[in-house]
Amino acid sequence: MENTQVVFEKDDYRYMKQAITQAKKAYKLNEVPIGCVIVYEGKVIGRGYNRRNTDKTSLGHAEITAIKKASRYMNDWRLENCTLYVTLEPCQMCAGAIVQARIPRVVIGSMNPKAGCAGSILNILQIPTFNHQCEITKGVCEEECSEMLTTFFKELRKSKKKNTAVTTDGE
């Protein structure tokens, strides 16, 4: 099942901007700036941003947090009539959680050629033998999402170089 859209729905930009706002919260915590919102009937019902280092857990991904909050709002683990907006292509864990939550549509800001599981490395969201697949829309606010990540990692590398540099007095 290859169901990937390049035509955006009218509200895709608005909701992706809200996901970007979430990503900026992660950035301020010195976390990889990834943000996510889940929308049901025109209302944001779940928000999340990366907090792996802050919370000291590998489960601290934006999508996982947003799915938990949306499930609480819906009082159901099934999010069948929702759309998930995320600034970076989901990893294998998050893609699996999206499929398990039965979210029918995923809107992605920027693809992740190193670890993405919505088409870059593999496509967990559309494995035909699973009982549920997702429609994927790629590239909404792509430049802004990519630039935030690029800037974050440049600053991180610069900071690491600065912290590992040996001063002339040997300290």
Does residue 63 have an active-site annotation? yes
132 is in an annotated binding site: no
Catalytic: which of 2, 31, 41, 63? 63
82 is in an annotated binding site: no
Supply the DSSP symbol for 9.
P
Q: Is 43 helix (H, G, I), strand (E, B) or coil?
A: strand
The two three-digit tokens of residue 126, written as one number: 């559309």
CA 141 – CA 12 distance, rounded (Å): 9
Residue with tokens 């040996």: 166
Least Cα distance to 134 among 75, 87, 88, 94 occurs for: 94
94 is in an annotated binding site: yes
Residue with tokens 């759309």: 83
- The annotation places the binding site for Zn(2+) at 61, 91, 94
Catalytic residues: 63
- The annotation places the binding site at 61, 91, 94
